[in-house]
Amino acid sequence: MQVRNKVCVVTGASSGIGRRTALELAAAGAVICAAARREERLQSLMAECAGSGHSYAVTDVSDRDQVKTLSAHVRRTHGRCDVLVNNAGSSGDHIPFGDPGAVAEIENVMATNFLGAVYCTAELLELLGESAPSTIVNVGSMAGRIPVGGSSTYTASKFALVGWSEALHYELAGRDIWVSLVLPGLIPTEGFPQSDLAADPLLRRALGTEQEVADAILDVIVRRKVERTVPRWYYLVQGPRLLAPPLYRYALRKVSAKYARHRPIA
Please give the full DSSP string across the chain, using - where no structure is assigned: ---TT-EEEEESTTSHHHHHHHHHHHHTTPEEEEEES-HHHHHHHHHHSSSS--EEEE--TT-HHHHHHHHHHHHHHTS--SEEEE--------PPBTBTTHHHHHHHHHHHHTHHHHHHHHHHHHHHHHT-SEEEEEE--GGGTS--TT-HHHHHHHHHHHHHHHHHHHHHGGGTEEEEEEEE-S---SS---HHHHTSTTGGGG---HHHHHHHHHHHHHHT-SEEEESGGGGGGGHHHHH-HHHHHHHHHHHHHHHTTSPPP-
Return all residues near 156 (Cβ < 8 A) that are at least 6 apart.
106, 109, 110
Show which residues are catalytic: 154
d(CA 62, CA 109): 9
d(CA 9, CA 262): 31
